[in-house]
């Protein structure tokens, strides 16, 4: 009797994670500088400067800038660089009004499917966020803030999540501490969201999240209107 050969185990085929195109990375970096107020309307930034800041070659930076899509925040001059377009307080308020509507709806749906285990996990994240805010560790605040929003219970509505993600490019996530009051707002406002989730109260979750996002937009608009050098 021949030995039985072990069954062949077929590993599932994994899709390789696609890295963002360099042109998109360059555009996102420039957008961060504009929205955080480090670049203002009419200023010019050369591709060599972007390349140095992103630690890429000047040649690659030039090619990326020629294909960039910085949306409404800047104009890209192929081979030359970026000329910053005006970004008004109304632009910011409009963008965050859209975010508040979408994020509020998602929070309301999240409350319907929230579980005690899921809420406790969010509370743990918030405890860490509060502590990081107290000690002024704004990199950690930014990371935990992102995780808090990312780990909200996923209710129905993937298209709404996609639409919300499209608006988030106008939030200076990587320069979180550049906007005075943003870290403290996350430490404070999330507690109302957590209470609503724990109570499975969709309308309270909607109101708390909407208020949080609208307040963040007001802080950003105020920051951009402030003369440079008057930050934290």
Q: Choose which CATH entry (3.90.550.10, 3.40.30.10, 1.10.10.10, 1.10.287.310) describes domain 22-84.
A: 1.10.10.10
User: pLDDT by residue (tens digit) across 65-104?
Assistant: 555 544 445 555 555 566 666 667 788 888 889 889 999 9
* CA pseudo-torsion sign 34, 40, 45, 50: negative
Helices and strands, counts by H and E, the chain: 9, 3
Over range 183-210, report the average pLDDT. 94
Report residue 44: phi and psi, to 5°: -125, 135
Average pLDDT over residues 195-199: 96
Place of tokens 């709806």: 105
| pLDDT score for 17 | 40
| Under 8 Å between Cβ of 81 and 44 | yes
In CATH terms, the fold of domain 89-225 is 1.20.120
**What are the residue boundaries of the structural domains of the chain, listed by start?**
22-84, 89-225
pLDDT of 2 strictly over 90: no
């Amino acid at each position: 009797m021949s030995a039985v050969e072990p069954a062949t185990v077929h590993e599932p085929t994994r899709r390789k994670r696609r890295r963002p195109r360099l042109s998109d990375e360059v555009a996102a970096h420039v957008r961060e500088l504009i929205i955080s107020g480090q670049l203002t309307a009419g200023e010019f930034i050369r591709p060599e400067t972007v390349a140095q800041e992103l630690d890429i070659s000047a040649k690659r930076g030039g090619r990326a800038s020629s294909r960039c899509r910085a949306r409404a925040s800047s104009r890209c001059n192929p081979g030359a660089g970026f000329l910053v377009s005006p970004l008004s307080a109304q632009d910011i308020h409009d963008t965050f009004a859209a975010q508040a509507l979408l994020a509020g709806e998602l929070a309301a749906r999240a409350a319907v499917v929230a579980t005690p285990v899921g809420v406790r996990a969010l509370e743990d994240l918030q405890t860490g966020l509060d502590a990081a805010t107290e000690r002024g560790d704004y990199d950690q605040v930014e990371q935990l803030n992102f995780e808090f929003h990312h780990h909200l219970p996923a209710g129905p509505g993937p298209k709404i999540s996609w639409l919300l993600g499209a608006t988030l490019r106008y939030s200076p996530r990587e320069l979180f501490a550049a906007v005075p009051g943003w870290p403290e707002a996350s430490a404070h406002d999330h507690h109302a969201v957590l209470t609503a989730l724990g109570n499975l109260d969709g309308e309270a979750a909607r109101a708390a999240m909407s208020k949080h996002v609208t307040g963040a937009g007001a802080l950003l608009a105020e920051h951009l209107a402030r003369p440079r050098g008057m930050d934290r």
